[in-house]
Amino acid sequence: MNNKNYNINELLDRLAQQIRDWMQERHIDDPLIVGIHTSGVWIADELQKRLQLADEPGELNMTFYRDDFSRVGLHPQSKPSLLPDVDDRHILLVDDVLYTGRTIRGAMNELFDFGRPASITAAVLVARGGRELPIEAQLTALREEPGFEYSYEVSGPEPLSLTLIAKQ
């Protein structure tokens, strides 16, 4: 299989509709969207536009919360997290691909350092297999497992694109 490009606008529309349904089912008017650096932030921005929520999306850089930080160190382009008050807020934690679950786990740890959210719901473009932790996304545009020899790449922010790439 060669590289595969996805219609990211369709995936974003699908995810936005799932979020609308989630909000309606749970009677939530003002969730705080929080994107995980870097492509999760781009996706959060796009969802914010589609959902027309009042608050700007938060940005979470969970570099120091990764369980492999002691092995890989600090990324040279690390940015600080930018979050408003998260106490008693319903958080939509947005990322591009859920794979092992370690990124979402680290992000949740950091969120709790900022306060005590009412709830945290994971929303991702792609959920694939390969969990190493018992973490799942509640909202997912695409569930697909292409196999270990492939990875997903989100490029952006303008234009935003999603490509499945064969590893070399």
Alpha-carbon Rg for the chain, nearest whole angstrom, is 15
Q: Specify the pLDDT at position 67.
A: 57
The answer to whether position 38 is within a domain reads: yes
Phi and psi angles of residue 57, each rounded to the nearest 5 degrees, phi first: -65, 145
Identify the pLDDT of residue 79: 73
pLDDT at 65: 64
Longest alpha-carbon distance in the chain? 47
pLDDT of residue 72: 52
In a domain, 22, yes or no: yes
pLDDT score recorded for residue 82: 86
Residue 88 covered by a domain:
yes
Reported as a pLDDT band with limits 50, 70 and 90, residue 168 is confident
Instruction: Confirm whether 86 is domain-assigned.
Output: yes
Q: Tell me the pLDDT tens digit for each residue of 53-112.
A: 999 999 998 876 655 555 555 555 567 888 989 999 999 999 999 999 999 999 999 999
Give the three-class secondary structure for 42: helix
pLDDT value at position 80?
A: 81
**73 in a structural domain:** no
**What local confidence, expressed as pLDDT, does residue 77 receive?**
58
What is the predicted pLDDT for the residue at 16? 98
What are the helix and strand counts (H, E) for the chain? 4, 8
The total number of structural domains in the chain stands at 1
The domain that holds 106 is classified in CATH as 3.40.50.2020
Residue 117 makes CB contacts below 8 A (sequence gap 6+) with 86, 87, 88, 89, 90, 91, 111
**Tens of pLDDT along 1-42?**
689 999 999 999 999 999 999 999 999 999 999 999 999 999
HSE-CB for 168 with a 13 A CA cutoff: 0
- Which range marks the domain in which residue 99 is found? 4-67+79-166
Is 90 within the bounds of a domain? yes
User: Does residue 72 belong to any structural domain of this protein?
Assistant: no
- The helix (run of H) or strand (run of E) holding residue 41 is helix 39-51
